[in-house]
Amino acid sequence: MSDTSQPAAMSAWITGIGLIAPGLPDWTSTAAVLRGEQAHESAATMLPAPELLPGAERRRASRVIKLALGVGLEAVRHAKADASTLATVFSASGADGHNCHALCEQLATDDRQISPTRFHNSVHNAAAGYWSIATRSMAACQVIGAFDASLGAGLLDALAQVVLDRQPVLLVAYDSEYPEPLRAKRDTPDCAGVALLLSPHADGALGRISLTPTQASADTLDNPSLEALRVAIPAMRALPLLRRMATGEAGDVVLDYLPPMQLRVSWRPCE
């Protein structure tokens, strides 16, 4: 009799990676840091211009929009994929921190009329909407928020779609900082994001991940500055897995999710 006590692993091939974080402007430089070839130097997050957006939307694009588009497009270009055809999952612990702050400031004045642009940029799915405009995509899109577990929730959703629909899915996980006084309650130091293009097919893949639930403790990083990013920014919970991808070292990592459940991710690079 087969053992059905453990859920079957969900698996997908990784064909593209994008990353932007403090001191880490792209995946190429991040991979070098994760391999120990370069030191991680503390620096403010560098955000690329959202060049695919039309002029009006480009002028309105917030830090969160630039971040989400930047990491998503890097992963797509890394995989040489067509962004307009990809199903997407956008996952964030919150919305646009600076925009939220500005709205709260406006509502605290006698003139409580809200800018329509600020309002539509304040919603949790704003980044997904700008992505569809930039890439002219009409593919399916999910938008997820699970506080500190947002990276794990997004990864679970994207993997499930790959397994069930047998089509590539782009996961974009990102977070924004908040100005004071909101920062006192949500101390995210800067904005950061990661994108993974998951596919049911091995063509052009970097390797394969398989995911199962576990109650083991999440993996940490030996590098103090990278570990600080992992702890402080929910999207950077991906760093232990990204370190294996950067080094090409097969093995398992445990990523934070909703305690007591964590996510065990097995990585097997292509030979």
pLDDT digits (tens, 9 = 90+) for 242-260: 999 999 999 999 999 999 9
CA distance 164 to 9: 13
55 within 8 A of 245, measured Cβ to Cβ: no
Could you identify the residue written with the tokens 């004071």?
180
Q: Give the angle subtended at the CA of 128 by the CAs of 123 and 134, to the nearest 5°.
A: 125
State the burial class of residue 129 (Cβ atoms within 10 Å of its Cβ: 0-12, 13-18, 19+).
middle
Q: Could you tell me the two tokens for 25?
A: 């402007």
Domain ranges of the chain: 10-206
Length of the chain, please? Answer: 271
Is residue 162 very low, low, confident or very high in pLDDT (cuts 50, 70, 90)? Answer: very high
Peptide bond into 25 cis (omega under 30): no
Does residue 6 surpass a pLDDT of 80?
A: no
CB crowding 237-266: b at 16 or more within 10 Å, else e: bbbbbbbbbbeeeeebbbbbbeeeebbbbb
193 within 8 A of 19, measured Cβ to Cβ: yes
* 181-234 per-position pLDDT tens digit: 888 888 888 999 999 999 999 999 999 999 999 999 999 999 999 999 999 999
Query: pTM, whole model, 2 decimals?
Result: 0.93
Question: Does the domain formed by 10-206 have CATH 3.40.47.10?
Answer: yes
Could you identify the residue written with the tokens 């087969």?
2
Helix, strand or coil for residue 142? strand
Neighbours of 29 (CB within 10 A): 15
44 within 8 A of 193, measured Cβ to Cβ: no
Closest by Cα among 63, 66, 64, 133 to 92: 64
Does residue 120 surpass a pLDDT of 80?
A: no
> How far does CA 91 lie from the centroid of its chain?
6
